[in-house]
Amino acid sequence: MTDSAPNVRLGVLTNPAAQHNERFPYTHRNLERHLGSIGDAVVTASAAETVDAVRHLLVERGINVLGINGGDGTIHSTLAALIDLLESDPAIAKPTLLLLNGGTYNIASRAMRTNHNPVDTLRRFTGRWANAPLGSVSTKEIALLQVVPLSGGGALPGMVFGSQVIANVLDLCDNIGGGYLGFAEFLMKGTAGYAFKTAFFNSNKWRLQHTAQRIEVDGVSEHGTVGVVASTIDVKLARGLVWALSATDPDDGFHSKIIRAKNPSDVVRLIPYLLWELPHPMVAARPRTHKITTSGNFTLDGELYPDMGPIEISMSDWRFDVVAGEDI
């Protein structure tokens, strides 16, 4: 390392609508206080504002560590804005990312072990690396998926993909109450509904129905499937206690699971096998997937997308260094 190596210059982007930040509205002000003179902080509540905020922090303020204070959806939109900016101007240096725990599920920050209170994480980061060379910061590299509409259109970057049935379940959880409480209530009501054919189950079973969308994995059509999930990071649910997907080496592709089910009751029965890494003949794990083709509504990093026709999910060429939480 040379003496000319840049020191850490930290910028923080806050989404005030993310669940933690909405519940604790003084979070951003406290983040600003801990930044002091070594960085900048901005608030953004829409995709358009995110684009402007990323440009402001990287180009005008010259930050080289970008803290993202929001949930998985905020990280998703920030990555998209960041990639667009870097592609438009290759002279801009790619920042290191610090994922803060400001959202609902916070799957990405859990994977990076920065799933503490955002202010506490920032305080510990600045306490260790406020005046340190950027190259001394402990990081992990994350890979990204890309979702490309086959009818044309730009690639959508993301870390966790879920096909239509997964998007429907997330939408239902949000309607119930959102976050882990909504997820837990869905599990409870879904299991009881399957057993006793309750009104809840009967009114929502359409969300779990097998659809006609074809799912093809690495050129092979998967028959009798109801959905597919894919990820480039460790996916942990139930406050980090339940492992659903484990990251593989990006050079080997990404981890996916194919869900084979004939009816909504099958889907409910499979939930424990989907959440834990338990074998089941209706759940096919594909830890070295390179390409998935499907269609229908889908979710990417918790954001819900409408049907775009046939889409292809593959590895993106983009990689980012992310602060390793176990080292702060």
At 78-124, the pLDDT tens digits run 999 999 999 999 999 999 999 998 888 888 998 899 988 999 999 99
Runs of H (alpha helix) within the chain = 19-23, 27-35, 47-55, 72-88, 107-111, 118-129, 164-176, 179-196, 199-204, 264-275
For residues 151-155, give the mean pLDDT.
Answer: 91
Q: Which DSSP state fits 8?
A: P
Rg (CA), the chain: 20
- Are 200 and 193 within 8 A, CB to CB? yes
Give the integer Cα–Cα distance in Å for 303 and 159.
11
Helix (H, G, I), strand (E, B) or coil at 260: strand
Domain boundaries, the chain: 10-137, 149-317
The model carries a pTM of 0.86
How many other CB atoms are found less than 10 A from the CB of residue 92?
15
Sorting pLDDT into bands at 50, 70 and 90, what band is 237? Answer: low
CATH number of 10-137: 3.40.50.10330
Domain 149-317 has CATH 2.60.200.40: yes
Q: Is the pLDDT of residue 285 over 90?
A: no
For residues 11-39, give the mean pLDDT.
Answer: 83
**Phi, psi angles (nearest 5°) of residue 7:** -85, 165
Give the integer Cα–Cα distance in Å for 219 and 5.
46
278 contact partners, CB below 8 Å, separation of at least 6:
272
At 244-279, the pLDDT tens digits run 678 888 889 999 988 887 777 777 777 767 666 677
Lowest mean pLDDT segment, chosen from 67-81, 209-223, 266-280: 266-280
pLDDT, position 157: 97
Helix 179-196 vs helix 164-176: crossing angle, to nearest 10: 110
Sorting pLDDT into bands at 50, 70 and 90, what band is 39? Answer: low
